[in-house]
Amino acid sequence: MPLWASLTPIAAAALLVAAVLLPGSLALAIACVAALLGAVIAAVHHAEVIAHRLGEPFGALVLAVSITTIEVALIVTLMLTGGPDQATLPRDTIFSAIMIICNGVIGLCLLIGALRHREQVFPVVGNSAALATLLALATLSLVLPTFTTSSSGPTYNSAQLTFAALASLLLWGTFVFVQTVRHRDYFLPLEDRADEEVHAAPPSVAQAWASFGLLFIALAAVVGLAKLLSPSIETAVAAAGAPKTTISVAIALLVLLPETMAALRAARANRLQTSLNLALGSALASIGLTIPAVAFTSMLIGVPLVLGLDAKELVFLLLTGFVTLITFVSGRGHVMTAAVHLVILGAFLFLALVP
Positive/negative CA dihedral, 261, 96, 8, 10: negative
Residue 57 pLDDT: 58
Tens digit of each residue's pLDDT (9 = 90 or more) over 235-263: 777 777 778 788 788 878 877 776 777 78
What is d(CA 277, CA 257) in angstroms, rounded to the nearest whole number?
A: 16
Grouping H, G, I as helix, E, B as strand and the rest as coil, residue 307 is: coil
Give the pLDDT confidence score for residue 165 in this predicted structure: 92
What's at 217, amino acid-wise? I
Amino acid at 105: V
Q: Are 261 and 41 in contact (CB under 8 A)?
A: no
Which CATH number is correct for 3-353, 1.20.1420.30, 3.40.50.150, 2.40.128.630, 3.40.630.30?
1.20.1420.30
What pLDDT, in 10s, does the model give residues 14-71? Answer: 998 888 888 777 788 888 888 888 887 887 788 778 877 776 556 666 766 777 777 7
**Gap between the Cα atoms of 269 and 263, Å rounded:** 10
Distance of CA 85 to the CA centre of its chain: 23
Q: In 271-355, where does DSSP find H-type helix?
A: 272-288, 290-301, 311-330, 335-353
Task: Tell me the mean pLDDT in the region 154-181.
Answer: 90
Q: How far apart are CA 150 and CA 138, in angstroms?
A: 20
Q: How far apart are CA 338 and CA 327, in angstroms?
A: 9
Tens of pLDDT, residues 286-297: 888 888 888 888
On whether the pTM is more than 0.85, the answer is no
Mean pLDDT value across residues 104-113: 92
The CA-CA-CA angle for residues 113, 119, 124, to 5°, reads: 95
Count of CA atoms in the C-beta half-sphere (13 A) of 261: 12
